[in-house]
Structure 1
Amino acid sequence: MKVAAIVGSIRKESYNKKLAEFIKKRNTDKFDLEVLTLNDLPMYNQDHENNPSQSVVDFKAKVKAADAVLWVTPEYNGSIPGVLGNAIDWLSRVDQVMIGKPSWIMGASMGVLGTAKAQMHLRDILFSIGLSSPILIGNDVYIGAVHTKFDESGNLTDEGTVQFLDKVVGNFLTWMKQYN
Protein backbone atom coordinates (compact mmCIF):
# COMPACT_ATOMS: atom_id res chain seq x y z
CA MET A 1 0.00 0.00 0.00
CA LYS A 2 1.22 3.48 -0.89
CA VAL A 3 0.62 6.38 1.48
CA ALA A 4 1.43 10.00 0.70
CA ALA A 5 2.25 12.00 3.84
CA ILE A 6 1.56 15.69 3.33
CA VAL A 7 3.43 17.74 5.91
CA GLY A 8 1.88 21.14 6.54
CA SER A 9 5.14 22.82 7.51
CA ILE A 10 8.06 23.99 5.42
CA ARG A 11 10.33 24.66 8.41
CA LYS A 12 13.67 22.87 8.11
CA GLU A 13 13.47 21.35 11.61
CA SER A 14 9.71 20.81 11.55
CA TYR A 15 8.47 18.51 14.29
CA ASN A 16 5.64 17.45 12.01
CA LYS A 17 8.09 16.41 9.32
CA LYS A 18 10.02 14.47 11.98
CA LEU A 19 6.76 12.81 12.98
CA ALA A 20 6.04 11.80 9.37
CA GLU A 21 9.59 10.47 8.99
CA PHE A 22 9.16 8.49 12.23
CA ILE A 23 5.92 6.91 10.93
CA LYS A 24 7.71 6.06 7.67
CA LYS A 25 10.77 4.53 9.33
CA ARG A 26 8.81 2.56 11.93
CA ASN A 27 6.33 1.08 9.43
CA THR A 28 8.38 0.22 6.35
CA ASP A 29 7.18 -3.38 6.61
CA LYS A 30 3.50 -2.29 6.63
CA PHE A 31 3.24 0.33 3.87
CA ASP A 32 5.28 2.52 1.56
CA LEU A 33 5.08 6.09 2.85
CA GLU A 34 6.43 9.02 0.86
CA VAL A 35 6.80 12.27 2.77
CA LEU A 36 5.74 15.15 0.54
CA THR A 37 6.88 18.65 1.33
CA LEU A 38 5.23 21.83 0.14
CA ASN A 39 8.31 24.01 -0.32
CA ASP A 40 8.17 24.13 -4.12
CA LEU A 41 4.44 24.64 -4.68
CA PRO A 42 3.56 28.04 -6.07
CA MET A 43 0.57 29.88 -4.67
CA TYR A 44 -2.66 28.58 -6.16
CA ASN A 45 -3.92 30.80 -8.96
CA GLN A 46 -7.01 29.93 -10.97
CA ASP A 47 -5.39 31.57 -14.00
CA HIS A 48 -2.83 28.73 -13.99
CA GLU A 49 -4.88 25.77 -12.78
CA ASN A 50 -5.17 24.22 -16.26
CA ASN A 51 -1.47 24.68 -16.99
CA PRO A 52 0.25 24.38 -13.59
CA SER A 53 3.96 24.33 -12.92
CA GLN A 54 5.82 21.01 -12.97
CA SER A 55 6.01 21.02 -9.15
CA VAL A 56 2.19 21.06 -8.98
CA VAL A 57 1.90 18.34 -11.63
CA ASP A 58 4.37 16.14 -9.73
CA PHE A 59 2.71 16.79 -6.36
CA LYS A 60 -0.75 15.94 -7.65
CA ALA A 61 0.55 12.82 -9.41
CA LYS A 62 2.08 11.51 -6.17
CA VAL A 63 -1.15 12.10 -4.28
CA LYS A 64 -3.20 10.50 -7.05
CA ALA A 65 -0.95 7.41 -7.08
CA ALA A 66 -1.27 6.92 -3.32
CA ASP A 67 -3.85 4.62 -1.77
CA ALA A 68 -4.29 7.02 1.17
CA VAL A 69 -3.04 10.37 2.45
CA LEU A 70 -1.59 11.01 5.89
CA TRP A 71 -1.94 14.69 6.78
CA VAL A 72 0.63 15.84 9.36
CA THR A 73 -0.08 19.40 10.35
CA PRO A 74 1.11 22.00 12.79
CA GLU A 75 -1.34 24.59 14.07
CA TYR A 76 -0.97 28.24 13.15
CA ASN A 77 -3.32 30.77 14.75
CA GLY A 78 -5.80 28.05 15.65
CA SER A 79 -6.01 26.59 12.14
CA ILE A 80 -4.03 24.95 9.36
CA PRO A 81 -0.93 26.66 7.97
CA GLY A 82 -1.26 28.71 4.80
CA VAL A 83 1.09 26.40 2.88
CA LEU A 84 -1.19 23.46 3.66
CA GLY A 85 -4.27 25.39 2.56
CA ASN A 86 -2.45 26.25 -0.66
CA ALA A 87 -1.62 22.59 -1.32
CA ILE A 88 -5.23 21.64 -0.67
CA ASP A 89 -6.38 24.29 -3.14
CA TRP A 90 -4.23 22.68 -5.85
CA LEU A 91 -5.51 19.19 -4.97
CA SER A 92 -9.15 20.28 -5.04
CA ARG A 93 -9.13 21.80 -8.51
CA VAL A 94 -9.34 20.47 -12.10
CA ASP A 95 -8.71 16.69 -11.73
CA GLN A 96 -9.60 16.69 -8.01
CA VAL A 97 -7.24 13.84 -7.08
CA MET A 98 -8.48 13.58 -3.48
CA ILE A 99 -12.10 12.61 -4.19
CA GLY A 100 -12.73 9.27 -2.51
CA LYS A 101 -9.12 8.94 -1.34
CA PRO A 102 -8.90 7.89 2.35
CA SER A 103 -7.22 10.29 4.75
CA TRP A 104 -5.90 10.16 8.30
CA ILE A 105 -4.64 13.09 10.29
CA MET A 106 -2.08 13.78 12.99
CA GLY A 107 -0.11 16.71 14.24
CA ALA A 108 2.36 17.89 16.81
CA SER A 109 3.04 21.18 18.53
CA MET A 110 4.96 22.58 21.44
CA GLY A 111 1.66 23.61 23.04
CA VAL A 112 -0.56 21.50 25.25
CA LEU A 113 -3.38 20.84 22.75
CA GLY A 114 -1.13 19.50 19.99
CA THR A 115 -2.94 20.86 16.89
CA ALA A 116 -6.50 19.96 17.95
CA LYS A 117 -8.01 23.09 16.36
CA ALA A 118 -6.05 22.73 13.12
CA GLN A 119 -7.13 19.12 12.78
CA MET A 120 -10.77 20.03 13.36
CA HIS A 121 -10.54 22.59 10.56
CA LEU A 122 -8.70 20.15 8.30
CA ARG A 123 -11.45 17.55 8.76
CA ASP A 124 -14.04 20.10 7.66
CA ILE A 125 -11.95 21.00 4.63
CA LEU A 126 -11.42 17.37 3.61
CA PHE A 127 -15.19 16.86 3.56
CA SER A 128 -15.68 19.72 1.06
CA ILE A 129 -16.95 19.03 -2.46
CA GLY A 130 -13.61 19.34 -4.28
CA LEU A 131 -11.95 16.86 -1.89
CA SER A 132 -14.63 14.48 -0.51
CA SER A 133 -12.06 12.40 1.33
CA PRO A 134 -13.21 9.73 3.81
CA ILE A 135 -11.35 10.16 7.10
CA LEU A 136 -10.20 7.66 9.71
CA ILE A 137 -12.28 8.79 12.70
CA GLY A 138 -11.63 8.14 16.39
CA ASN A 139 -7.87 7.91 16.08
CA ASP A 140 -6.93 11.49 16.82
CA VAL A 141 -3.21 12.09 17.21
CA TYR A 142 -2.56 15.37 19.02
CA ILE A 143 1.03 15.35 20.20
CA GLY A 144 1.56 18.19 22.64
CA ALA A 145 4.89 19.30 24.13
CA VAL A 146 6.53 17.68 21.11
CA HIS A 147 9.83 19.44 21.79
CA THR A 148 10.24 17.14 24.83
CA LYS A 149 9.50 13.96 22.86
CA PHE A 150 12.17 13.99 20.14
CA ASP A 151 15.89 13.77 20.72
CA GLU A 152 18.52 15.85 18.87
CA SER A 153 18.76 13.20 16.12
CA GLY A 154 15.04 13.37 15.33
CA ASN A 155 14.11 10.14 17.11
CA LEU A 156 10.78 9.98 18.92
CA THR A 157 11.77 8.95 22.45
CA ASP A 158 8.49 9.18 24.40
CA GLU A 159 7.42 5.54 24.80
CA GLY A 160 3.77 6.35 25.48
CA THR A 161 3.56 8.35 22.27
CA VAL A 162 5.30 5.58 20.31
CA GLN A 163 2.86 2.96 21.64
CA PHE A 164 -0.12 5.17 20.83
CA LEU A 165 1.15 5.78 17.28
CA ASP A 166 1.59 2.02 16.81
CA LYS A 167 -2.04 1.53 17.84
CA VAL A 168 -3.27 4.23 15.45
CA VAL A 169 -1.23 2.77 12.57
CA GLY A 170 -2.79 -0.63 13.29
CA ASN A 171 -6.25 0.92 13.28
CA PHE A 172 -5.47 2.67 9.99
CA LEU A 173 -4.39 -0.61 8.39
CA THR A 174 -7.55 -2.37 9.59
CA TRP A 175 -9.68 0.50 8.30
CA MET A 176 -7.96 0.40 4.90
CA LYS A 177 -8.67 -3.34 4.56
CA GLN A 178 -12.33 -2.68 5.30
CA TYR A 179 -12.38 0.39 3.08
CA ASN A 180 -11.01 -1.43 0.05
Structure 2
Amino acid sequence: MKYLAIVGTNADVSTNRMLLQFMQKHFASDVDIELCEIKALPAFYEPEGEEVPETVVELSKKIIDADGVIIATPEYDHAIPAVLKSALEWISYTSQALTDKPVLIVGASHGVLGSSRAQAHLRQILDSPELAARIMPSSEFLLGKSQEAFDYAGKLKYPDKLAELNEVFREFLLFTKITTELLAEKAVIKKDKKYTWQE
Protein backbone atom coordinates (compact mmCIF):
# COMPACT_ATOMS: atom_id res chain seq x y z
CA MET A 1 0.00 0.00 0.00
CA LYS A 2 0.96 3.60 -0.49
CA TYR A 3 0.27 6.39 2.00
CA LEU A 4 0.61 10.15 1.62
CA ALA A 5 1.87 11.86 4.78
CA ILE A 6 0.99 15.56 4.91
CA VAL A 7 3.17 17.84 7.02
CA GLY A 8 0.52 20.18 8.43
CA THR A 9 2.73 23.19 8.99
CA ASN A 10 4.84 25.70 7.07
CA ALA A 11 7.54 25.83 9.77
CA ASP A 12 11.05 25.03 8.55
CA VAL A 13 11.79 23.12 11.77
CA SER A 14 8.94 20.96 13.05
CA THR A 15 8.67 17.92 15.30
CA ASN A 16 5.56 16.98 13.31
CA ARG A 17 7.74 16.65 10.22
CA MET A 18 10.23 14.64 12.29
CA LEU A 19 7.42 12.34 13.42
CA LEU A 20 6.35 11.64 9.83
CA GLN A 21 9.97 11.13 8.76
CA PHE A 22 10.38 8.59 11.54
CA MET A 23 7.17 6.82 10.54
CA GLN A 24 8.34 6.74 6.92
CA LYS A 25 11.49 4.83 7.89
CA HIS A 26 10.05 2.79 10.76
CA PHE A 27 7.16 1.35 8.72
CA ALA A 28 9.03 1.05 5.41
CA SER A 29 8.66 -2.73 5.37
CA ASP A 30 4.86 -2.46 5.68
CA VAL A 31 3.93 0.44 3.43
CA ASP A 32 5.37 3.14 1.16
CA ILE A 33 4.96 6.56 2.83
CA GLU A 34 5.53 9.70 0.76
CA LEU A 35 6.01 12.95 2.67
CA CYS A 36 4.13 15.93 1.30
CA GLU A 37 4.82 19.57 2.16
CA ILE A 38 2.09 22.21 1.85
CA LYS A 39 4.32 25.25 2.40
CA ALA A 40 4.23 26.21 -1.29
CA LEU A 41 0.43 26.25 -1.54
CA PRO A 42 -1.08 29.72 -1.90
CA ALA A 43 -3.56 30.89 0.71
CA PHE A 44 -7.03 29.78 -0.33
CA TYR A 45 -9.05 32.08 -2.58
CA GLU A 46 -11.97 31.48 -4.91
CA PRO A 47 -10.34 31.19 -8.34
CA GLU A 48 -11.91 32.77 -11.38
CA GLY A 49 -13.44 30.20 -13.70
CA GLU A 50 -11.82 26.79 -13.45
CA GLU A 51 -8.25 27.97 -12.96
CA VAL A 52 -6.62 26.12 -10.06
CA PRO A 53 -3.00 26.58 -8.91
CA GLU A 54 -0.74 23.80 -10.16
CA THR A 55 0.44 23.04 -6.62
CA VAL A 56 -3.17 22.32 -5.64
CA VAL A 57 -3.65 20.06 -8.66
CA GLU A 58 -0.49 18.14 -7.71
CA LEU A 59 -1.65 17.73 -4.10
CA SER A 60 -5.04 16.46 -5.25
CA LYS A 61 -3.43 13.91 -7.56
CA LYS A 62 -1.18 12.61 -4.79
CA ILE A 63 -4.17 12.19 -2.47
CA ILE A 64 -6.21 10.41 -5.14
CA ASP A 65 -3.33 8.04 -5.97
CA ALA A 66 -2.71 7.13 -2.30
CA ASP A 67 -4.46 4.28 -0.51
CA GLY A 68 -4.64 6.42 2.60
CA VAL A 69 -3.51 9.73 4.07
CA ILE A 70 -1.65 10.54 7.28
CA ILE A 71 -1.89 14.13 8.54
CA ALA A 72 0.45 15.44 11.24
CA THR A 73 -0.76 18.64 12.85
CA PRO A 74 0.72 20.93 15.46
CA GLU A 75 -1.57 22.98 17.68
CA TYR A 76 -1.83 26.75 17.36
CA ASP A 77 -4.26 28.42 19.78
CA HIS A 78 -6.27 25.21 20.26
CA ALA A 79 -6.64 24.72 16.48
CA ILE A 80 -4.83 23.52 13.38
CA PRO A 81 -2.42 25.88 11.57
CA ALA A 82 -3.85 28.24 8.97
CA VAL A 83 -1.71 26.67 6.24
CA LEU A 84 -3.32 23.27 6.85
CA LYS A 85 -6.82 24.74 6.94
CA SER A 86 -6.10 26.54 3.68
CA ALA A 87 -4.88 23.33 2.03
CA LEU A 88 -8.05 21.51 3.07
CA GLU A 89 -10.15 24.39 1.74
CA TRP A 90 -8.46 24.04 -1.64
CA ILE A 91 -9.25 20.32 -1.69
CA SER A 92 -12.89 20.79 -0.67
CA TYR A 93 -13.41 23.59 -3.21
CA THR A 94 -11.76 21.81 -6.14
CA SER A 95 -11.10 18.06 -6.40
CA GLN A 96 -12.71 16.81 -3.16
CA ALA A 97 -9.94 14.22 -3.30
CA LEU A 98 -10.30 13.28 0.36
CA THR A 99 -13.85 11.96 -0.07
CA ASP A 100 -13.95 8.39 1.30
CA LYS A 101 -10.16 8.41 1.71
CA PRO A 102 -8.89 6.62 4.87
CA VAL A 103 -7.15 9.19 7.09
CA LEU A 104 -4.98 8.83 10.19
CA ILE A 105 -4.37 11.91 12.34
CA VAL A 106 -1.20 12.27 14.40
CA GLY A 107 0.32 15.24 16.13
CA ALA A 108 3.28 16.46 18.13
CA SER A 109 3.63 19.45 20.42
CA HIS A 110 6.20 20.91 22.78
CA GLY A 111 3.71 20.72 25.66
CA VAL A 112 2.32 17.62 27.35
CA LEU A 113 -1.04 17.45 25.51
CA GLY A 114 0.39 16.57 22.09
CA SER A 115 -1.95 18.66 19.90
CA SER A 116 -5.11 17.02 21.28
CA ARG A 117 -7.37 20.04 20.66
CA ALA A 118 -5.99 20.53 17.15
CA GLN A 119 -6.65 16.88 16.35
CA ALA A 120 -10.26 17.22 17.51
CA HIS A 121 -10.54 20.35 15.34
CA LEU A 122 -9.10 18.51 12.35
CA ARG A 123 -11.53 15.61 12.79
CA GLN A 124 -14.42 18.06 12.68
CA ILE A 125 -13.13 19.64 9.47
CA LEU A 126 -12.45 16.32 7.72
CA ASP A 127 -15.96 15.17 8.59
CA SER A 128 -17.55 18.09 6.70
CA PRO A 129 -19.65 17.16 3.63
CA GLU A 130 -17.22 18.76 1.16
CA LEU A 131 -14.28 16.69 2.46
CA ALA A 132 -16.05 13.56 3.81
CA ALA A 133 -12.87 11.68 4.65
CA ARG A 134 -12.98 8.27 6.34
CA ILE A 135 -11.24 9.09 9.62
CA MET A 136 -10.06 6.16 11.71
CA PRO A 137 -12.39 6.17 14.74
CA SER A 138 -11.44 6.06 18.42
CA SER A 139 -7.76 6.49 17.70
CA GLU A 140 -5.25 9.30 18.00
CA PHE A 141 -1.51 9.55 18.43
CA LEU A 142 -0.45 12.43 20.65
CA LEU A 143 3.26 13.08 21.08
CA GLY A 144 3.89 15.52 23.91
CA LYS A 145 7.26 17.02 24.88
CA SER A 146 8.23 16.46 21.27
CA GLN A 147 11.41 18.55 21.41
CA GLU A 148 12.95 15.80 23.56
CA ALA A 149 11.30 12.85 21.79
CA PHE A 150 13.85 12.14 19.04
CA ASP A 151 17.52 11.19 19.20
CA TYR A 152 20.25 12.50 16.91
CA ALA A 153 19.30 9.92 14.25
CA GLY A 154 15.65 10.95 14.28
CA LYS A 155 14.41 7.87 16.13
CA LEU A 156 11.58 8.09 18.66
CA LYS A 157 13.09 7.69 22.13
CA TYR A 158 10.00 7.11 24.29
CA PRO A 159 9.38 3.31 24.49
CA ASP A 160 5.74 3.73 25.54
CA LYS A 161 5.04 6.09 22.66
CA LEU A 162 6.78 3.81 20.18
CA ALA A 163 4.60 0.90 21.28
CA GLU A 164 1.51 3.10 21.01
CA LEU A 165 2.48 4.28 17.54
CA ASN A 166 3.06 0.69 16.39
CA GLU A 167 -0.41 -0.30 17.59
CA VAL A 168 -2.11 2.73 16.05
CA PHE A 169 -0.39 2.14 12.72
CA ARG A 170 -1.31 -1.57 12.66
CA GLU A 171 -4.92 -0.53 13.23
CA PHE A 172 -4.69 2.00 10.39
CA LEU A 173 -3.38 -0.63 7.99
CA LEU A 174 -6.40 -2.79 8.84
CA PHE A 175 -8.74 0.21 8.70
CA THR A 176 -7.46 1.07 5.23
CA LYS A 177 -8.00 -2.48 3.99
CA ILE A 178 -11.51 -2.74 5.46
CA THR A 179 -12.52 0.69 4.16
CA THR A 180 -11.25 -0.10 0.67
CA GLU A 181 -13.17 -3.38 0.61
CA LEU A 182 -16.30 -1.71 1.96
CA LEU A 183 -16.24 1.01 -0.68
CA ALA A 184 -15.64 -1.54 -3.44
CA GLU A 185 -18.64 -3.56 -2.22
CA LYS A 186 -20.70 -0.39 -1.96
CA ALA A 187 -19.85 0.49 -5.57
CA VAL A 188 -20.95 -2.97 -6.76
CA ILE A 189 -24.24 -2.77 -4.85
CA LYS A 190 -24.90 0.71 -6.18
CA LYS A 191 -24.13 -0.41 -9.72
CA ASP A 192 -26.36 -3.49 -9.54
CA LYS A 193 -29.23 -1.88 -7.68
CA LYS A 194 -32.44 -1.58 -9.68
CA TYR A 195 -35.31 0.70 -8.84
CA THR A 196 -38.94 -0.38 -9.26
CA TRP A 197 -39.32 1.83 -12.31
CA GLN A 198 -36.40 0.02 -13.99
CA GLU A 199 -37.92 -3.45 -13.58
With the shorter chain as reference, the TM-score category is over 0.9
2:162, 2:139 → 1: CA distance?
14
- Match of 1:152, SS state, is coil
1:172, 1:156 → 2: CA distance?
19
1:78-135 deviation digits (Å, cap 9, x = unpaired)? 0000000011011111221111111110100011111000000100000101100111
Partner of 2:179: 179
- Match of 1:105, SS state, is strand
Partner of 1:134: 134
Corresponding position: 1:68 with 2:81: no
Partner of 1:6: 6
Structure 1 residue 2: Cα displacement: 1.3
1:98-177 maps to which residues of 2 (within 5 A)?
98-177=98-177
Alpha-carbon contact 1:49-1:93 (below 8 Å) kept: no
Task: Give unpaired runs (5+ residues) of structure 1.
Answer: none
Structure 1 residue 48: Cα displacement: 4.7
1:87, 1:95 → 2: CA distance?
12
RMSD value over aligned CA atoms?
1.3
Partner of 2:30: 30
Alpha-carbon contact 2:44-2:89 (below 8 Å) kept: yes
- Match of 1:112, SS state, is coil
Structure 1 residue 49: Cα displacement: 7.3
30-39 vs 155-164, which moves further: 155-164
Considering only CA atoms, is the larger Rg found in Structure 1 or Structure 2? 2
Alpha-carbon contact 1:4-1:69 (below 8 Å) kept: yes
Identity of paired residues, percent?
35
Alpha-carbon contact 2:102-2:175 (below 8 Å) kept: no
Alpha-carbon contact 1:49-1:94 (below 8 Å) kept: no
1:19-46 deviation digits (Å, cap 9, x = unpaired)? 0111110111111111111111011111
For residue 118 of structure 2, what is the amino acid of its counterpart? A
1:124-171 deviation digits (Å, cap 9, x = unpaired)? 000101100111112211111111211234221112111111111111
1:15-54 maps to which residues of 2 (within 5 A)?
15-48=15-48, 50-54=50-54
- Could you list the runs of 4 or more consecutive aligned residues of structure 1 that deviate by over 4 angstroms after TM superposition? none
1:49, 1:167 → 2: CA distance?
46
For residue 103 of structure 1, what is the amino acid of its counterpart? V
- Match of 1:47, SS state, is coil
2:176, 2:123 → 1: CA distance?
18
**If the length of structure 1 is used for normalisation, what is the TM-score?**
0.95
